[in-house]
Amino acid sequence: MKDNVVAITGASKGIGAELARQLAACGAKLVLAARNAAELEAVADQCRESGATVVTVRADVAVEHDCQAIVAGAVLAFGRLDALVNNAGATMWALFEEIEDVSVLERIMRVNYMGAVYCTRHALPYLRDSRGRIVGISSLAGRTGVPTRTGYAASKHAMTGFFDSLRIELADSGVSVTMIYPGFVATGIRENATGPDGKPIMVSPVQEGEVMKVEDCARRIVRAMERREREVVMTARGKMGLWLKLIAPGLVDRIARRAIERGR
C-alpha cells in the first residue's frame, strides 16, 4: 500500500482509526473523513507521526455532497485516488417492537448503505483510472439475521448485495471489490449504538475484553486490501455459520441469539 492514496470514512475512531494508523505505517497517503473534526485531527496527527501525508475532511456520509467532498479532497491533494474504504457506520441495540421511532432505521440505512453508495459513486471514475480498490466494512450481520439489530442487519445486507453486484459489473475494469465481515471487535464505541428511544445506550452490551482486538481486525483488512481478496469472514464462528446456514438455518438462528445474549 506504499504511496497509495487511500480514503477512509468513519476514520475518527474504532476500526477506521486503527486502519488509518496501520496504513500510515505502510507508507500510504491518507484522506480521513468523519463527523467529529477534533477526534479526526487527533487520528491524523498520529498518522503524521508515522511519516504519512494526511488530509482530513469533516463529513457525514449520509449526505451525498459530503461524500463528494471526500473524493474531491483526495483528488485536490494528491491528484488521484487508489482505494476507498467504506467504513463509516451506525448501529443499534433494540428489539424491533420496542423501537419508538422507526426513523432510527432510516438513519442507519442512510449511513451504512447509502453512505457507501454515495462515496463509491463519486470515487469510481478515479478508481477506474488507477485500477484501484473498493473496500466495504460490513459485519457478520450482513450475512445472517441478528436479534436486537434488525435495522443494522438490513443495512449491512443491502451493502453486501450492492458490492457483490458491483464487483461483477467491474470485472473487466481492474477495480477490485473486497468485502470485510468482522464479528464483535473491541472498538469501545458500542455505547453510541442507538437504543429503542433513539438515544445512545451509553453502555457497551459487548464484553469488549473477550472479542477480537481492533489491531488484529485492521491488520487483516490491510492484508486483504494488498491481496485484493474478494471477501474476508473474520471469525471461525462466522465461517462455520455460513456453512451451517445452508443445512441447518434454525441452528444458526440459535447461535446468533446466544451470541447477542452473551455479548461475545
Q: Is the dihedral of CA 249, 254, 257, 263 positive or negative?
A: negative
AA identity, residue 58: R
Residue 152 is among the residues annotated as catalytic for this protein = yes
3-state class (DSSP) for residue 3 = coil
CB 104 within 8 A of CB 151: yes
What is the spatial distance between Cα 2 and Cα 86, in angstroms, rounded to a whole number?
A: 20
- The per-residue b/e assignment along 70-106, b for 16 or more CB within 10 angstroms, e otherwise, is bbebbbebbeebbbbbbbbbbbbbbeeeebeeeebbe
Tracing cell 496501520 back to the chain, one arrives at 22
What is the spatial distance between Cα 234 and Cα 182, in angstroms, rounded to a whole number?
A: 5
Task: Classify burial at 228, counting beta carbons within 10 Å of its beta carbon; exposed 0-12, middle 13-18, buried 19 or more.
Answer: middle
CA 9 centroid distance within chain:
8
3-state class (DSSP) for residue 28 = coil
* Distance between first and last Cα of the chain: 32
Q: Which of 113, 118, 152, 181 is catalytic?
A: 152
Q: Is the dihedral of CA 34, 39, 44, 47 positive or negative?
A: negative
What is the spatial distance between Cα 261 and Cα 264, in angstroms, rounded to a whole number?
A: 8
Residues designated catalytic: 152
